[in-house]
Amino acid sequence: MEPTDRDAACFEAGIKFGALYHQFAGTPVSPRNAASLETAMEEAIENQPFCESVTVDILTEELEAEIQQGYTELSGHLMEVEVVVERDGVEVVTRMEMDEGYPLMRVESVRVADSRE
Protein backbone atom coordinates (compact mmCIF):
# COMPACT_ATOMS: atom_id res chain seq x y z
CA MET A 1 0.00 0.00 0.00
CA GLU A 2 1.38 3.41 -0.98
CA PRO A 3 1.49 6.15 1.67
CA THR A 4 -1.26 8.73 1.25
CA ASP A 5 -0.66 12.48 1.11
CA ARG A 6 -2.04 12.56 4.66
CA ASP A 7 0.55 9.98 5.76
CA ALA A 8 3.36 11.95 4.12
CA ALA A 9 2.27 15.23 5.72
CA CYS A 10 2.12 13.63 9.19
CA PHE A 11 5.55 12.07 8.62
CA GLU A 12 6.96 15.49 7.66
CA ALA A 13 5.58 16.98 10.87
CA GLY A 14 7.31 14.24 12.86
CA ILE A 15 10.59 14.95 11.11
CA LYS A 16 10.30 18.64 12.03
CA PHE A 17 9.72 17.80 15.69
CA GLY A 18 12.60 15.32 15.78
CA ALA A 19 14.93 17.91 14.30
CA LEU A 20 13.75 20.66 16.62
CA TYR A 21 13.92 18.64 19.80
CA HIS A 22 17.20 16.86 19.19
CA GLN A 23 18.96 19.86 17.67
CA PHE A 24 18.17 22.20 20.56
CA ALA A 25 17.81 19.96 23.65
CA GLY A 26 20.77 20.64 25.88
CA THR A 27 21.24 24.25 24.73
CA PRO A 28 22.20 26.50 27.66
CA VAL A 29 19.24 28.81 28.34
CA SER A 30 18.36 31.65 30.68
CA PRO A 31 15.50 34.15 30.89
CA ARG A 32 17.85 36.66 29.23
CA ASN A 33 18.29 34.60 26.05
CA ALA A 34 15.00 32.64 25.99
CA ALA A 35 13.29 34.91 23.43
CA SER A 36 16.24 34.84 21.02
CA LEU A 37 16.48 31.05 21.38
CA GLU A 38 12.76 30.73 20.61
CA THR A 39 13.27 32.78 17.43
CA ALA A 40 16.34 30.79 16.40
CA MET A 41 14.48 27.50 16.83
CA GLU A 42 11.45 28.73 14.89
CA GLU A 43 13.48 30.11 12.02
CA ALA A 44 15.73 27.05 11.78
CA ILE A 45 12.86 24.58 11.52
CA GLU A 46 10.82 26.83 9.19
CA ASN A 47 13.67 26.46 6.68
CA GLN A 48 12.77 22.80 6.17
CA PRO A 49 10.59 21.76 3.22
CA PHE A 50 6.80 21.82 3.71
CA CYS A 51 7.02 23.72 7.01
CA GLU A 52 4.44 26.51 7.18
CA SER A 53 5.05 27.77 10.71
CA VAL A 54 6.72 26.99 14.01
CA THR A 55 5.89 28.54 17.36
CA VAL A 56 8.20 27.91 20.32
CA ASP A 57 7.32 29.11 23.80
CA ILE A 58 10.03 28.65 26.41
CA LEU A 59 8.21 28.56 29.73
CA THR A 60 10.01 31.31 31.61
CA GLU A 61 8.43 30.62 35.02
CA GLU A 62 9.62 27.02 34.91
CA LEU A 63 12.99 28.18 33.57
CA GLU A 64 13.44 30.69 36.40
CA ALA A 65 12.57 28.02 38.97
CA GLU A 66 15.22 25.70 37.53
CA ILE A 67 17.85 28.43 37.42
CA GLN A 68 17.46 28.79 41.18
CA GLN A 69 19.10 25.37 41.36
CA GLY A 70 22.01 26.37 39.09
CA TYR A 71 22.95 25.93 35.43
CA THR A 72 20.03 25.12 33.15
CA GLU A 73 19.81 23.63 29.69
CA LEU A 74 16.79 23.40 27.42
CA SER A 75 14.64 20.30 27.70
CA GLY A 76 11.09 19.34 26.85
CA HIS A 77 9.55 20.36 30.13
CA LEU A 78 10.69 23.95 29.55
CA MET A 79 8.88 24.52 26.25
CA GLU A 80 5.65 24.25 24.33
CA VAL A 81 5.89 23.99 20.56
CA GLU A 82 3.47 24.06 17.63
CA VAL A 83 4.51 23.01 14.12
CA VAL A 84 2.31 23.40 11.05
CA VAL A 85 3.18 21.45 7.90
CA GLU A 86 1.49 21.66 4.50
CA ARG A 87 2.24 19.02 1.92
CA ASP A 88 0.31 18.17 -1.23
CA GLY A 89 -2.88 19.87 -0.04
CA VAL A 90 -2.78 18.44 3.48
CA GLU A 91 -2.23 20.67 6.52
CA VAL A 92 -1.06 19.05 9.75
CA VAL A 93 -0.98 20.90 13.06
CA THR A 94 1.18 19.29 15.74
CA ARG A 95 2.01 20.27 19.32
CA MET A 96 4.49 19.32 21.99
CA GLU A 97 3.48 19.69 25.62
CA MET A 98 4.27 17.90 28.81
CA ASP A 99 2.02 14.92 29.51
CA GLU A 100 2.58 13.06 32.77
CA GLY A 101 6.21 14.18 32.94
CA TYR A 102 7.03 13.41 29.29
CA PRO A 103 7.38 15.90 26.40
CA LEU A 104 4.65 14.39 24.21
CA MET A 105 4.47 15.35 20.54
CA ARG A 106 1.04 14.82 19.04
CA VAL A 107 -1.00 15.50 15.94
CA GLU A 108 -3.68 18.06 16.84
CA SER A 109 -5.44 18.21 13.49
CA VAL A 110 -5.21 17.15 9.86
CA ARG A 111 -7.03 19.09 7.18
CA VAL A 112 -7.22 17.87 3.60
CA ALA A 113 -7.76 20.71 1.13
CA ASP A 114 -9.89 18.57 -1.18
CA SER A 115 -11.60 15.18 -1.05
CA ARG A 116 -8.70 13.09 -2.41
CA GLU A 117 -8.44 11.19 0.88
Mind listing the pLDDT tens digit for each residue in 15-66?
999 999 999 999 999 999 999 999 999 999 999 999 999 999 999 999 999 9
Ranges of each domain in the chain:
5-110
Q: Is the pLDDT of residue 117 over 70?
A: no
Burial code (b: 16+ CB inside 10 Å, e: under 16) for 77-113 equals ebbebbbbbbbeebbbbbbbbeeeeebebeeeebeee
Query: What confidence score (pLDDT) does residue 60 get?
Result: 92
Q: Assign a CATH topology to domain 5-110.
A: Pantoate--beta-alanine Ligase; Chain: A,domain 2 (3.30.1300)
